[in-house]
Chain A
Amino acid sequence: MSAAWPRSFTGRTILVIAALILLLVLISAGTWLWFSANEPKFSDPPPGLLSILTEPIPEGPNADLIRRGRYLTIAGDCASCHTRRGGRPFEGGLGLQTPFGIIYSANLTSDRDNGIGAWTPEQFFNALHNGAAPGNKRLYPALPYPHFTIVSRADTDAILAYLKTVPPVHYAQPGNRLPFPVDIRASLIAWNALNFSPHAFQGNSAMSAQWNRGAYLVEGLEHCGACHTPKNVLGAELNNQAYRGAAIENWVAPDLTGNPRTGLGRWSSNDIVQYLQTGRNAHANASGLMGEVVAYSTSLLSDSDLLAIAAYLKSLPASPTLSSGAPDAAAMRAGSAIFFDACTACHLAGGKGQPGMFPPLQGSNVAQQDDPTGVIHLILAGTRTAPTRSRPGFQSMPSFAWKLSDQEVADVATYIRNSWGNRAPPVDARRVAKLRSKLKLTQPLASDQR
């Protein structure tokens, strides 16, 4: 599989590799994302995953440490990526798509050969803090070590102590499917040099302890920015645009700043807590990748940590609002007709929605993201609300791919984004066609069958 970090590595090699990376970036002319939309697992969740995350840990010599470690493992949402579909908890093997290929998550069970059973606390800290596995093997930032770097040594020790109690699975993940030169882990030297410096958590003494706890969780273990912060061409987060929302392949991770239209400006702290705890609130339902985050991470966190996360998110300054012109009247007319017939069953007239059940569209930040990819995706493919312990149902938005043409999807999306006080750039049918093709969804029934 991957080459270990060569002992003798010359500056010249680094330059060559950096140049090659740049070349590939230019060729692909797109954004280079480490973290990308993998398949949500709700339709086939790993057996026993929720149990292993929630069943009581029996008393024993290290019980408190192990309990704390499991809690932090949950806070890191480690299970979502480190369990493949239908696989055993933490055995890894889930493929994360990048524009360059697929990276498979590692086995985190206590297996000594393929898991972390033989790891020392130092080695584990080094992985999370520096992005380097034993043998000084560079890790791909699909493992979000640019976030995990701030996790304290005490916390990484606790996580490792817990993982060592996870039943060993002798499963080895497949080799990554990456082209040259990205398949050479040495290329990561260049990436790190440009995008990463290991550091400890920097608190802000001017802010409350609650805010600081929130910052530690959001910036660190929960690694929210991995999805919600726009990236540069190398896939590194743009710190000056933190949490302003970002495209992740075929989806949009919404703006989390205080912007009242696209961000969380209209959400109260309690709204945020309720969303993270139950997967739904008066504004939105969690589904897809965020649904996994809620199911396997935030819904299992303590109230005080959720309040801390909310306090930190509520302190993020609002992103600038893009101005968008008035949408085309013909698009709005058609969109209004489609909405009236096809959407009101759940979202009701006026986009009122049924809060906590079917999201209101009036004022919806999800609907008003500058990038319409998420809205198009939801209409074309549908989605399933995350089941949580307190709300085990999984009410779903059905797929409209067979029912609506590209133009009809575009027009109803434009309508939703520009009605009832909503405002967002109009949607072009070509974008719908592109996403329909990327998602390999069906073409609609011919419109002469009406």
Chain B
Amino acid sequence: MGQDPGRRVNRRELLTFGAALGAAGAAEALSVHDGMLGGPSREYTNTLPWDDGLTDEPEGAGGGSWLYLNAGEVSFLTAAVDRLIPADPAGPSASEAGVVVFIDRQLAGDYGNGEHFYLEGPWQKGTDTQGYQSRFTPAQFYRHAIEAIEQAVGRSENGKAFKDMASEKQDALLKQMESGDLKLDGPITSKSFFAMFLQNVLEGYFSDPIYGGNKDGAAWKMIGFPGAHYDYSEWVTAYNQPVPVQTVGLRGRPGWERG
């Protein structure tokens, strides 16, 4: 996040000679999304372009302050994610694992901006089987939904915010959201928000640590997932035995450093 857009394409600058159209073409191909309008068609004969050093590597979450969420939203989410995944001796709570940071980075980026959503009208309420029918991007969806939930909480809890409720009451409210029984002002149903929210919490808890959640691979360690290890050839037929592979993310593990 917040990285120089030029860094997205990890290519060495082209040396001064030669037109180097292939490399430029491959680099531009990265910036063209499927079906998006943006540039002329490209022609390829002989081979597909790729140059040494070029990769479409993932962007990390980066450090620093909140990129999308406001203070109230951070409080709500911190309290709520820890009810969905509380701390216990086996593993961290969702917020301890960085899930709120993860959600913030996701909402500030392509996902939050609805890059892979169709949001054009006309809009109608559909059947459950027709899926997402909101006009909101996920970022807008969160903003409106959290505001509506806090309003509902305020009404029923004498002006309290969600974070100040007792955990049993928080759980009860989340269950009402899950079932859709919690009625919200505005166009968003509590059920549809809960579905998106729970999915994003699981994403943050179990995705690669580079995205801000699953700090130190703790969620993977808890369940026994080795992560981004690539070669299990030696253990395919080692039945009913633990696999001695340490949990590793795309950016490695502590054992990669000299110790």
Contacts and interface: CB of A to CB of B under 8 A. Distances in A.
B28 to A, nearest CB: 13
B258 A337 contact: no
Interface string B7-20: 10010111111111
Contacts of B216: 450
Interface string A332-352: 011001101110110011000
For chain B, the bracket of interface size reads: 35 or more
Contacts of A93: 18
A45 B46 contact: yes
Interface in A311-345: 330-331, 333-334, 337-338, 340-342, 344-345
Chain B at the A interface: mostly helix, strand, loop or mixed? loop
A240 interface: no
Interface string A132-145: 00000000000000
Interface residues of A, number: 64
B229 interface: yes
B12 A440 contact: yes
B22 interface: yes
A449 B228 contact: no
A38 B15 contact: yes
B24 to A, nearest CB: 9
A84 B57 contact: no
B55 to A, nearest CB: 5
The CB with the most chain B CB atoms within 10 A, among A348, A380, A383, A401, is that of A401
B88 interface: no
A407 interface: yes
B23 interface: yes
B252 A408 contact: yes
B209 interface: yes
B255 to A, nearest CB: 4
A181 interface: no
B160 interface: no
Interface string A226-259: 0000000000000000000000000000000000
Interface string A184-208: 0000000000000000000000000
B107 interface: no
Nearest to B61: A449
Contacts of A447: 251-252, 256-257
Q: 8 closest A-B pairs (Cβ-Cβ)?
A: A95-B17, A44-B22, A345-B230, A43-B22, A344-B231, A85-B18, A337-B255, A440-B12
30 contacts: A38-B17, A39-B51, A41-B22, A43-B22, A44-B25, A86-B19, A86-B21, A87-B19, A96-B17, A102-B17, A333-B255, A341-B228, A341-B256, A380-B53, A381-B12, A382-B55, A383-B52, A394-B48, A398-B55, A399-B55, A402-B57, A404-B252, A408-B256, A408-B257, A449-B61, A449-B209, A449-B251, A450-B209, A450-B248, A450-B252
